[in-house]
Amino acid sequence: MPPLSSDFHRDQGPDGAFALHLTPAEWRSFLEDPGFLDEPDNSFVQPRRLMGLRVEIVPDHSFG
């Protein structure tokens, strides 16, 4: 396996929870869905959640 870049950060936090990394456009597409907030595991305010998983907004997917 090649070495990880110095700015790489894992999707899994120290508490063992995973985070979804989404670009602003990807996150916006979820927010535009009228049924997004009908699901109790979704949240658009901090902490952002999608299907119960924490969401981190990244500029692009090269950020991990």
Map out the domains of the chain as residue ranges: 19-55
Is the pLDDT score of 43 beyond 80? yes
Please tell me the predicted confidence (pLDDT) of residue 48: 95
Mean pLDDT, rounded, for 3-13: 52
pLDDT at position 60: 83
Residue 24 phi/psi, 5° resolution? -55, -40
Which pLDDT score, from 0 to 100, does residue 15 have?
A: 64
Could you give the CA distance from residue 59 to residue 45 in angstroms, rounded to a whole number? 18
Average pLDDT, the chain: 81
Mean predicted confidence (pLDDT) in 45-52: 93
Indicate yes or no: pTM above 0.75: no
d(CA 56, CA 30) in angstroms, rounded, equals 13
Mean pLDDT of all residues in 24-45:
94
Supply the DSSP string of 9-39, one letter for each residue: --SB-TTS-BEEEE-HHHHHHHHTSTTGGGS
